[in-house]
């Protein structure tokens, strides 16, 4: 009986590693991934980075331009997140099982949120580019649509988790729908909801780089410009500033979370 | 033991008709102390609203006819979602490209998982000294701060645009995410179990392989799959933005180069189908693990 | 005079077995009625049908001269303001202060907007404060509810019900989450509310001995049917075992044993 368990464990392990090997080989073949080149490029990249990827005096002259784009990008991330959060809040109230109007509205909202969440950011960027071209609005809207699905889902989960008991109590006192929302759902869920909002701002600053690259806006555009013109000193300055911004925003987020929780 | 602070006979004086008045207490609502959390919350909401308003006011609206662009976008979305069609890309090709994207995501997750496994051991508070866990945490935070696309592009300089740069570049964020998740899974094993094993003479690696890994296996696998879901989305994005192979590149070409909305629609639907299938599995797995590392 | 009258009330959830199968009884003003029965017997459903937190499937409920199941939304809110409710898990908004939670009991009397903004008159605040003081929480008025003990939280729940100026209070397992000391305090308060203030109390309990000690009348239900309805004095061991099925002896526990569970 005991031998049995050990054999089963071993067979299970064997099966797992066989499967892993097959999938790995398959992936390497199908993606034409050059294993040797992949691994050697790591060291080459570091060597190259040490030799070329640092800001020099010439790059510093670009600093004012880059900072302007950075400010634009941060504001874009904050604003698109906040606006998406407002819309997501309405959707989440309709979709939550505690505050929803009926079970149908819950199913529909969750479905819509899931679709929005899974449409790639790239697709939004491409579509918006066509009509809005290289304007700031393209970036705003791409981030807005990208955040909307994620926030709706996160908000629904938060509302369900945090407020179904107080909601029951307030309904029992004869409170109206909006009274319940403002007196129970929001006070109980606010810290958690804000935490998601901060998380999304953080994510959006990083995604804004991607969207910027694709649509020619914000900090992503700056990077692309220097990168494509092989001005790697300036490009490295952009990366350093993004790193600093993301870490600072994360520190602020953590501080705010600590205080309001 | 909690005591009654008012004499019981007070109950005789209160009734709905008398409005619950208690003698001697009229007009004596105590001073309300400052509520730090509520104040912080208000300041936070105020600041973020002001930032948003400022941002929305300073957008350059003149460079584009907003109403027309919005109408166009709506029209484009209608074409994309209602009339998807194949032109350059046959349905079979499209599926093949999705498989390539999934392959990229798989390799990324695998490499990320292997590296994160060791880093996770060093980052778990019950397995490594505090200085080491702090170094691991700092390293992970730095990796996370550089957007994935920039990692990919930086590696593309050395390795050339293509799957090698995409996989290595995307591996960085997978390492950071999974290190945190694995370390937390390892930490769920009670210190006393580790103590018991080391008391019996087991060394560190024996403890890791005989106690830590078996008890964390389920959540490790779940986290890895959740990361796979994210990597799939990332691989689509990298295909578009960094010229890595796969469906993302086709999406970029269809949307940004050929302006072929019907094909954008088809590709979007295919990606959506795969992504939602992955999401469904991931949602099922989420119940098996505790919390979300951010 | 009968305050509440249930006529042949039935409730079906999904599935063929009823949660309530033809429940009828009347409750007089100022009566302290305990509803006992095994878990899953329909106690909770019964209570929630009275203030229509759950819609009945059949039968009629009269509160005073109001037919509960025929009320329109506005009138339903009015009905609920006259009926307080106390919950096993207190159902407070943990992040709000004691007095804010208590004032939630006034929402049913206010316009939606005033409730949404949390505008309460000075009289309402004084009334809430006085009730809080009477319940021995004078020191904690401005404390957040997540800092309170279970017994204190339940007293906030009672205060929220009392501030409604209710004719009747429904208590759903008010002491099931509390230790024996706190349970005794809560039950003593409830007794005072019924006897001293003339407020009718309907109380779901699963401890038979508590029901025997405190109530004027006991209703035993099993599988959605009333199997006993009478004074505590006439509830014999045989009848108890009929309510609970076979192992009733173990269910009649004393305060000390409750603490262990």
Tell me the domain boundaries of chain B.
Answer: 9-58, 89-291
Other CB atoms within 10 A of residue C19 CB: 22
Q: At B59, is the secondary structure helix, strand, or coil?
A: coil
Residue A175 has its nearest CB partner, among C95, C96, C108, at C108
At A2 the pLDDT is 57
Q: Which candidate in B3, B9, B11 is best for mutational testing of the C interface (most C CBs within 10 A)?
A: B11
Alpha helices in C72-121 (DSSP H): 73-81, 98-103, 112-117
Structure tokens at B280: 């469904």
Highest mean pLDDT among A222-231, B15-24, B86-95: A222-231
Would you tell me which residues 185-204 of chain A have a C-beta closer than 8 angstroms to some C-beta of chain C? 187-188, 190-191
Does domain A57-260 correspond to CATH entry 3.50.50.60? no
Long-range contacts of A39-47 (CB under 8 A, 24+ apart): A41/B155, A41/B158, A41/B159, A41/B164, A41/B165, A41/B168, A42/B155, A42/B168, A44/B158, A44/B159, A45/B154, A45/B155, A45/B157, A45/B158, A45/B159, A45/B168
At A85 the pLDDT is 96
For residues C97 and C225, state if they share a domain: no
Q: Find the chain C residues whose C-beta atoms sit closer than 8 A to any C-beta of B.
A: 95, 97, 122-123, 125-127, 129-131, 133-134, 136, 138, 141-142, 144, 149, 151-152, 162, 165-167, 181-182, 185, 192, 196-199
Domain boundary among C100, C130, C165: C165
Helix axes B148-159, A35-52, angle to 10 degrees: 100
For residues C177 and C139, state if they share a domain: no
Q: Which has the closest alpha carbon to B154: A64, A137, A232?
A: A232
Determine the residue of chain A that is closest to B270 in CA distance.
A119
Who contacts B140 (Cβ-Cβ below 8 Å, separation ≥6)?
B119, B123, B175, B176, B179, B180
Determine the residue of chain A that is closest to B173 in CA distance.
A206
For residues C178 and C257, state if they share a domain: yes
Q: Which candidate in A101, A175, A177 is best for mutational testing of the C interface (most C CBs within 10 A)?
A: A175
pLDDT < 70 positions in chain C:
1, 246-261
For residues C174 and C130, state if they share a domain: no
Who contacts B275 (Cβ-Cβ below 8 Å, separation ≥6)?
A118, A120, B229, B232, B233
What distance in Å separates the CA atoms of residue A70 and residue A118, rounded to the nearest whole number? 27
Strands C18-28 and C200-204: unpaired
Please judge whether B16 and C165 are an interchain contact, meaning their C-beta atoms are less than 8 angstroms apart: yes
For residues C139 and C204, state if they share a domain: no
For residues C171 and C197, state if they share a domain: yes
- Structural domain total, chain C: 2
Q: Which candidate in C30, C96, C130 is best for mutational testing of the B interface (most B CBs within 10 A)?
A: C130
Q: What is the DSSP string of A97-140?
A: TTT-S-HHHHHHHHHHHHHHHHS-HHHHHHHHHHHHTTSHHHHH
For residues C50 and C109, state if they share a domain: no
Q: Residue A95: which H helix or E strand, with range?
A: helix A63-95
At A75 the pLDDT is 94
More confident residue, B54 or B245: B54
pLDDT tens across the length of chain A (261 residues): 556 888 888 888 889 889 999 999 888 888 888 888 778 888 888 888 888 888 888 888 889 999 999 999 999 999 999 999 999 999 999 998 888 878 888 899 989 999 998 988 888 888 888 888 888 888 899 999 999 999 999 999 999 888 789 999 999 999 999 999 999 999 999 989 999 999 999 899 989 999 988 888 889 999 999 998 999 999 999 999 999 999 999 899 999 988 887
**Per-residue pLDDT tens digits for C184-218:** 999 999 999 998 888 999 999 988 889 999 999 99
CA A185 to chain C, closest CA, distance in angstroms equals 8
C197 touches chain A (CB under 8 A): no
**Per-residue pLDDT tens digits for B264-285:** 899 999 999 999 999 888 887 7
Q: Which has the closest alpha carbon to A118: A91, A93, A90, A145?
A: A145
A10 touches chain C (CB under 8 A): no
Please judge whether B35 and C151 are an interchain contact, meaning their C-beta atoms are less than 8 angstroms apart: no
At C5 the pLDDT is 92
CB-based burial of residue B255 (10 Å sphere; 0-12 exposed, 13-18 middle, 19+ buried)?
Answer: buried
Does domain B89-291 correspond to CATH entry 1.10.3720.10? yes
CA B232 to chain A, closest CA, distance in angstroms equals 10
Chain C partners within 8 Å of B19 (Cβ):
123, 127
* Domain that residue C119 falls in: 87-165
Determine the residue of chain A that is closest to B156 in CA distance.
A45
At C160 the pLDDT is 94
Output the CA–CA distances (angstroms, integers) from residue A205 to A75, A78, A227, C3, in the order listed.
9, 8, 19, 62
Chain A partners within 8 Å of C100 (Cβ):
187
User: How would you classify residue C136: left for phi > 0, otherwise alpha for psi between -120 and 50, otherwise beta?
Assistant: left
Contact at 8 Å (CB) between B181 and B286? no
For residues C107 and C129, state if they share a domain: yes
For residues C118 and C146, state if they share a domain: yes
At B17 the pLDDT is 44
Residues of chain B above pLDDT 70, percent? 88
Contact at 8 Å (CB) between C73 and C233? no
What distance in Å separates the CA atoms of residue C73 and residue C66, rounded to the nearest whole number? 13
Which subunits sit against A, judged by 3+ Cβ pairs under 8 A?
A: B, C
CA B72 to chain A, closest CA, distance in angstroms equals 6
Chain C partners within 8 Å of A184 (Cβ):
93, 104
* Domain at C229, CATH number: 3.40.50.300
At C62 the pLDDT is 92
Would you list the domain boundaries of chain A?
2-52, 57-260
Count how many pairs of residues, chain A against chain C, have C-beta atoms within 8 Å.
90
What distance in Å separates the CA atoms of residue B52 and residue B42, rounded to the nearest whole number? 15
Domain boundary among C165, C194, C214: C165
């Amino acid at each position: 009986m005991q031998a049995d368990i050990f054999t089963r464990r071993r067979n299970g392990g064997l099966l797992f590693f066989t499967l892993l090997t097959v999938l790995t080989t398959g992936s390497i073949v199908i993606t034409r991934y050059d294993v040797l080149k992949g691994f050697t490029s790591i060291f080459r990249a570091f060597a190259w980075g040490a030799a070329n990827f640092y800001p020099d005096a010439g790059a510093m002259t670009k600093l004012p331009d880059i900072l302007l784009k950075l400010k634009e990008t941060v504001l874009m991330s904050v604003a698109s997140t906040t606006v998406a959060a407002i819309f997501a809040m309405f959707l989440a109230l309709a979709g939550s099982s505690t505050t929803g109007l009926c079970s149908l509205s819950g199913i529909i909202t969750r479905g819509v949120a899931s679709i929005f969440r899974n449409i790639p950011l790239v697709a939004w960027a491409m579509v918006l580019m066509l009509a809005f071209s290289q304007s700031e609005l393209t970036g705003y809207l791409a981030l807005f649509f990208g955040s909307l699905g994620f926030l709706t889902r996160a908000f629904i989960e938060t509302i369900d988790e945090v407020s179904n008991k107080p909601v029951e109590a307030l309904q029992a006192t004869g409170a109206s729908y909006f009274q319940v929302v403002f007196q129970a759902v929001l006070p109980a869920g606010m810290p958690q909801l804000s935490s998601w909002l901060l998380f999304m701002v953080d994510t959006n600053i990083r995604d804004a780089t991607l969207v910027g690259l694709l649509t020619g806006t914000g900090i992503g555009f700056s990077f692309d410009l220097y990168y494509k013109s092989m001005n790697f000193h300036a490009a490295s300055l952009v990366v350093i500033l993004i790193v600093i911004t993301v870490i600072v925003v994360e520190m602020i987020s953590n501080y705010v979370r600590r205080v309001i929780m | 033991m909690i005591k009654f602070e008012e004499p019981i006979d007070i109950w005789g004086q209160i009734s709905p008709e008398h409005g619950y008045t208690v003698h001697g207490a009229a007009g004596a609502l105590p001073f309300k102390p400052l509520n730090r959390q509520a104040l912080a919350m208000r300041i936070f909401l105020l600041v973020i609203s002001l930032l948003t308003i400022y941002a929305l006011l300073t957008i350059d609206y003149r460079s584009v006819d907003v109403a027309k662009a919005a109408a166009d976008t709506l029209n484009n979305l209608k074409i994309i979602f209602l009339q998807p069609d194949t032109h350059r890309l046959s349905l079979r090709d499209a599926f093949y490209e999705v498989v390539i994207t999934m392959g990229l995501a798989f390799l990324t997750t695998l490499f990320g998982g292997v590296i994160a496994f060791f880093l996770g051991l060093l980052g778990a508070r019950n397995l490594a000294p505090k200085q080491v866990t702090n170094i691991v945490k700092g390293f992970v935070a730095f990796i996370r701060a550089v957007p994935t696309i920039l990692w990919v592009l930086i590696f593309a300089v050395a390795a050339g645009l293509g799957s090698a740069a995409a996989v290595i570049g995307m591996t960085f964020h997978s390492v950071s995410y999974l290190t945190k998740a694995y370390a937390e899974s390892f930490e769920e094993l009670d210190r006393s179990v580790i103590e018991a094993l080391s008391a019996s003479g087991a060394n560190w690696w024996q403890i890791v392989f005989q106690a830590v890994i078996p008890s964390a296996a389920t959540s490790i696998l779940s986290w890895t799959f959740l990361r796979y879901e994210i990597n799939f989305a990332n691989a689509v994005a990298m295909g578009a933005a960094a010229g890595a192979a796969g469906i993302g590149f086709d999406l970029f070409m269809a949307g940004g180069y050929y302006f072929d909305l019907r094909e954008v629609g088809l590709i979007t639907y295919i990606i959506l189908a795969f992504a939602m299938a992955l999401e469904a599995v991931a949602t099922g797995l989420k119940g098996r693990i505790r919390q979300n590392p951010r | 005079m009968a305050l509440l009258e249930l006529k042949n009330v039935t409730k079906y959830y999904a599935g063929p077995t009823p949660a309530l199968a033809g429940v009828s009884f009347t409750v007089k003003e100022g009566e302290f009625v305990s509803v006992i029965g095994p878990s899953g017997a329909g106690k909770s459903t019964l209570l929630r049908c009275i203030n229509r937190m759950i819609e009945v499937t059949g039968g009629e409920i009269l509160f005073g001269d109001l037919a509960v199941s025929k009320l329109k939304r506005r009138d339903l809110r009015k009905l609920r303001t006259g009926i307080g409710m106390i919950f096993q898990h207190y159902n407070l908004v943990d992040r709000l202060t004691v007095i804010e939670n208590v004032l939630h009991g006034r929402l049913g009397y206010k316009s939606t907007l005033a409730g949404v903004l949390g505008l309460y008159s000075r009289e309402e605040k004084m009334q809430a404060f006085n009730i809080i003081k009477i319940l021995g929480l004078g020191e904690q008025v401005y404390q957040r509810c997540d800092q309170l003990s279970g017994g204190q939280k339940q007293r906030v729940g009672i205060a929220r019900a009392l501030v409604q100026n209710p004719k009747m209070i429904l208590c759903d397992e008010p002491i099931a989450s509390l230790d024996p000391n706190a349970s005794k305090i809560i039950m003593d308060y409830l007794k005072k509310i019924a006897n001293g203030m003339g407020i009718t109390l309907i109380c779901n309990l699963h401890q038979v001995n508590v029901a025997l000690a405190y109530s004027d009348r006991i209703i035993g239900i099993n599988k959605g049917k009333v199997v006993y309805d009478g004074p505590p004095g006439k509830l014999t061991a045989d009848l108890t075992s009929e309510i609970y099925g076979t192992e009733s002896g173990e269910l009649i526990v004393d305060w000390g044993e409750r603490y262990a569970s």
